[in-house]
Structure 1
Amino acid sequence: MEPIIDMSHVSKTYGKGENRVFALKDVSLTVYPGEFIAILGPSGSGKTTLMNIIGLIDKPDSGTYFIDGTSAHDQPDRVYSRLRNEKIGFVFQKFNLIAKYNALHNVALPLLHRGMGYRDAKKAAVATLEKVGLGNRQHHRPNQLSGGQQQRVAIARALVGSCPLILADEPTGALDKKTGEEILDFFMELNGEGKTIVMITHDPGIAARAKRIIRVEDGMLDTFNG
């Protein structure tokens, strides 16, 4: 089975000379289809840098990274944009929905960016909103939805393009405990259906919901089962 994430000997530094700091040191990580892993670490540990490299938002200084079999090494920006759109569904702590658009349009955007026609994108968005339990909220704007509902819209946006990977950055961080647990339950349901999920968190209790935990400390990884 080919891995979705295949990262080998990746390092990333910031600053120069005496101010040079290693954010990641010789990191290797392999994630296979159907896994649910948590990347756990405190602020400053390197987990955000690791997330940004996995998400093709940042580039490593050295090492190799393949996502779903495609090299992500030293590519033009347009290739990174295409890979992000086709390979990764992002779920952010603060939802990152577009305020002027309703739920339907927010979810349809990744497909529209791929060049899909509006009618087909709308049909897919409606079906995905129904999957996350928001079929009756498709015409509501973000400010008309609760935090939990906004995060479900964000999850629908991540799902709609059938990307092989969901990358979730502190997905319960802006939610109350009960709503956060509901979102984690939903991630577990999605994983049970075969979706691959990589979740970034600073909270060991949240990380424990994953099947495998990657602990990040001082830019280095320690892997153990959740």
Structure 2
Amino acid sequence: MKIGIIGATGMAGQEIYREAVRRGEEAVAIVRDAAKAKELLGEDTAIVEKDAFALTAADLAGFDAVVDAFGTAPDHAFTHNDLTKQLVAAAPSSAPDSPRLLFILGAGSLTNPETGMLALEDIRKAPGAESWISIPEAALEQLEYLRTVDTADWVGVSPQMMFTPGEATTPQVGKDTLLTAADGASHTTAGTMAVGILDELQRPTYRNTRFTVSDA
């Protein structure tokens, strides 16, 4: 399987790239800085050096799947939805060479089972949240938009409340509700997320919907 990874030099993107390679898939880093990608992922890294916002249908053709692991600063969080719309338009399911699209979303759109409210409401209460709340808010808008899309083959995946660097555990997988790990906390490492994503790409279970991945 040929898998393109937008944002392959970021926390999640690096782990997804490495997990894909480990499983014998043809992973391609789609990045703006080829030198940085080679430094982080290795000199033999397969690379498409191009700004994600310049990607076209021709660029995506030939990939079996494209993972959007794009990250940005809070003041540019709105661009996540811009990129999502661009990728959906460039990969219509009516075209035989269009890839499956996988979008990494936030935890804010998951439901807290203790309150019945979106986790975004809990995030708003975190100290200093006003400086970065635009990121989970944009991710919720991204999911709301995707739920209107029936012209592309897409899937979304959310981590838990804490999404951090770290090695993989055996993923717990859910749908729209926050999960907790064995220690009772809500967290997902980038390694666990990568395993959950590759499991889904290799054995598709969710189509045109969102699922969530948690540490064990």
TM-score, scaled relative to structure 1: 0.33
Select the structure that is richer in strand. Answer: 1
TM-score (norm 2): 0.34
The structure showing larger relative contact order (alpha-carbon pairs under 8 Å, at least 6 residues apart) is 1
